[in-house]
């Protein structure tokens, strides 16, 4: 009996260390243009929780986000450098108290931080991040812990836009959350 308990504790300790931090890649490179504006929708348990506008700006290794609500009020501004933790530049109290700066920074980094074309899988401890191409205009990046899906990003491409993807959907099945981005392609879309 003690052996089984010890074995369970050791496995839990090893797997706990392995999934403690899901890697964000070193040597960041971004698939989108240096400045872009996106329609952002957040859902949880199948219910839409928020819709707004997300402005993204990349300058070398720096990654800046500005979140606006539907009326154009700035709710949040964050910046990251070289994949570091998000630094909140400005946030209203309600947004900060709900943990949105960390969630949005991590989620958008998972979307915009891409793998090079010659790399199909990365492994970090027990976490494996792979990309697939389920259709000609769709690409998927997913993180798995063994057979379990931790998160996935589906990228949608259009032949009209040469800069990269025009939409992305990040899903975290274990949280029942979904974050959708749709690129505003011109000022008339705003």
DSSP 136-172: TTEEEEEEEETTEEEEEEEEEE-TT--SSEEEEEEEE
Distance separating alpha carbons of residues 127 and 173, to the nearest angstrom: 16
Cα 11 to chain centroid, rounded: 29
Q: What was the pLDDT predicted at 160?
A: 57
Task: Name the strand (E) or helix (H) holding 4.
Answer: helix 2-18
Q: What was the pLDDT predicted at 152?
A: 93
Distance separating alpha carbons of residues 54 and 104, to the nearest angstrom: 10
Neighbours of 83 (CB within 10 A): 15
The model's pLDDT over 75-109, given as tens digits with 9 standing for 90+, comes to: 988 888 766 677 887 888 888 888 888 888 888 88
Query: Coil, strand, or helix at residue 46?
Result: coil
Q: What was the pLDDT predicted at 80?
A: 81
Question: Considering the entire predicted model, what is its pTM?
Answer: 0.74
Phi, psi of 113 (to 5 degrees): -80, 110
pLDDT (tens place) for every residue of the chain, 190 residues total:
767 666 565 665 555 444 444 444 444 444 445 788 989 999 988 888 888 898 888 877 778 889 998 888 899 888 887 666 778 878 888 888 888 888 888 888 888 876 666 667 888 788 888 888 877 778 889 999 988 999 999 988 877 545 578 889 999 988 889 999 998 866 555 5
Q: Are 53 and 71 in contact (CB under 8 A)?
A: no
Nearest to 153 by CA among 185, 117, 108: 108
Q: What was the pLDDT predicted at 153?
A: 92
Q: What was the pLDDT predicted at 83?
A: 60
Residues sharing a CB contact under 8 Å with residue 96, sequence separation 6 or more, in sequence order: 76, 88
Distance separating alpha carbons of residues 113 and 116, to the nearest angstrom: 10
Phi, psi of 181 (to 5 degrees): -120, 135
């Amino acid at each position: 009996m003690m052996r089984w308990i010890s074995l369970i504790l050791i496995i839990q300790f090893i797997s706990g260390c392995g999934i403690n931090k899901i890697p964000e890649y070193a040597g960041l490179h971004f698939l989108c243009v240096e400045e872009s504006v996106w329609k952002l929708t957040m859902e949880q348990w199948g219910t839409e929780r928020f819709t707004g506008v997300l402005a993204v700006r990349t300058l070398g290794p720096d990654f800046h986000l500005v979140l606006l609500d539907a009326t154009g009020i700035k709710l949040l501004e964050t910046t990251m450098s070289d994949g570091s933790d998000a630094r909140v530049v400005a946030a209203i109290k309600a947004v900060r108290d709900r943990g949105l700066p960390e969630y949005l920074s991590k989620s958008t980094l998972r979307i915009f931080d891409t793998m090079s074309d010659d790399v199909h899988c990365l492994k970090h401890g027990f976490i494996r991040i792979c990309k697939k191409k389920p259709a000609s205009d769709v690409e998927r990046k997913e993180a798995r812990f063994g057979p379990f899906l931790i998160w996935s990003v589906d990228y949608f491409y259009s032949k009209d836009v040469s800069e990269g993807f025009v939409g992305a959907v990040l899903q975290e099945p274990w949280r029942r959350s979904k974050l959708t981005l749709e690129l505003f392609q011109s000022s008339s879309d705003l």
